[in-house]
Chains A and B, each alone.
Chain A
């Protein structure tokens, strides 16, 4: 079952990383395009950390559930503020 949890981290963890980093870039005081490369560089350590944490949690279904909820919340926030993007 460990591989199922790692798979959760690899798939939903990937989209969660994109959502989290996008949110931080948008909230950052500097214009978001100035953070593109640092964001890409930060993405991989964060993604690997999520996969490692997911592997260590003992139950499988909650991992998928929690990641799904986090994804939904952050993507909803990003979607609802998309008009503010310049």
Chain B
């Protein structure tokens, strides 16, 4: 093969990359819509954390002594997790210490706070933030979902690069052109291109960091076997963490108080604010703690300090201004992916980018449908019809499912339910499934209007549910300084209004738009017509 055989950007090349762009986009589009919509909401996870648990509102911030009491009670109840347990600090949860561990019997993450331990037996805190985050990075599929999303991220990268190549020749001419008019496909195309090109740097960041976060374990296994003759595996922990290199001594020893350990970590890395702890072998002479947190005045704030719990010796510091290439790269990727390098302005930017990304995949599917539109007949092809149904069901169903989880959280609190995470998931998955079924038994336009209305009402119920369940309604929370709770309620109102507006637009399209489209059809293509339009 001579590299001269690589053609210039001819019509053939353009067609080739258009096919690559369309099919990789379609294959990954649904999963990416879910990831981007859930990801946009995850940007505000600190606010949602304060919103989801009324028991942490208006209470005095717990002290490190409370953290120690929690840790000891959790370890008495679950001695098997002494080897690894994590603690979220009040700075991150909004007031309480929260212990997290992986429950091998349940094969799921469990959590507890002093409030849940003192409450009814078996009570579990709401974990809406974890649930929405899990939907973001694994579609909520516990077995293999993260690897699936890793593959989706690679397809996303392929779709991005091929999309840029397709649009390069017309970039300067078409970049900022939005051509509303009778040709709806052109308008969708312009909007798709505009959002895609303007937010391209962020999309490249999300594609690369998303693939790394989802697939790094598999990839490192590949490097270990193929490139490093099995010598890489022992070095991985050191590259990614600050603890875990020392084996337990199997000898009990008293642990230094939590506040002493935290002060030592903060003194060693000035400007470093701890947000969570990972503890290995608590109570053992070789017990270690990783203090995780954020440094001020850094574009990559995430960092770690390793400390021995028995004598308080700092074993490793990987915080801003003093870290190696591995930790600096990891922190930079976290920062770029989650927008943690800035305050609320950056969060809002990421929120808009997330919604814009979701729109990119939604509009990509609509373009596919429009490209196959039969201009001179009312009946459209089965593939277009089904794609429109799937797009409506999965995309709007996702929005409904997530809003339902929010409403269920407050409803479960109000009704005194013990296992709140269970009800969050029941609400999300059942409403999503119903939306998808509804989309496939109704014509796309009718389903879209109905489901958008449901999404609008359900999302607007988020502040209502919070107000009814806790009494912290939107007219009170700003006066009480509960801006995090207020902002989640306000987000529900704004998003809900947006869905209702989209429902209105879709209804106008159904009533007054061109009739030769799946968006004007009142029934699926008849079997005999399918046979004509799809001879294969």
| A residues adjacent to B (C-beta < 8 A) | 2, 6, 14-15, 18-19, 21-23, 25, 30, 32-41, 43-45, 47-49, 51-53, 55-59, 62-63, 65-66, 75, 78, 82, 85-86
Contact = CB atoms under 8 A, between A and B. Distances in A.
B17 interface: yes
Contacts of B17: 55-56
Nearest to A85: B231
Contact of A40 (B13, B212, B235): B212
B9 to A, nearest CB: 9
B20 A38 contact: no
Nearest to B12: A58
A13 B207 CA distance: 18
A58 B5 contact: yes
Contacts of A14: 222
Shortest beta-carbon contacts, A-B, top 4: A22-B227, A62-B1, A33-B235, A37-B326
A51 B5 contact: no
A53 B1 CA distance: 13
Interface residues of B, number: 44
Main secondary structure of the interface of A (DSSP, over half): helix
10 contacts: A2-B19, A19-B227, A22-B228, A33-B232, A41-B329, A44-B157, A45-B157, A51-B158, A85-B228, A85-B229
A41 B267 CA distance: 32
Contacts of A44: 153-154, 157, 207-208, 211-212
B19 A15 contact: no
Interface in B1-40: 1, 5-7, 13, 16-17, 19-20
B216 interface: yes
B324 interface: yes
B370 to A, nearest CB: 23
A36 B239 contact: yes
B226 A19 contact: yes
Contacts of B154: 44, 47-48
B329 A37 contact: yes
Interface in B352-376: none
B246 interface: no
Given A19-B227, A33-B235, A36-B239, A59 B1 contact: yes
Contacts of A6: 20, 158
Contacts of B330: 37
A22 B223 contact: yes
Interface string B322-364: 0011110110010000000000000000000000000000000
B38 to A, nearest CB: 22
Given A18-B227, A55-B20, A59-B1, A33 B157 contact: no
Nearest to A36: B239
Given A34-B326, A48-B158, A48-B161, A41 B227 contact: no
Contacts of B16: 2, 55-56
Contacts of B162: 52, 55
Nearest to B150: A44
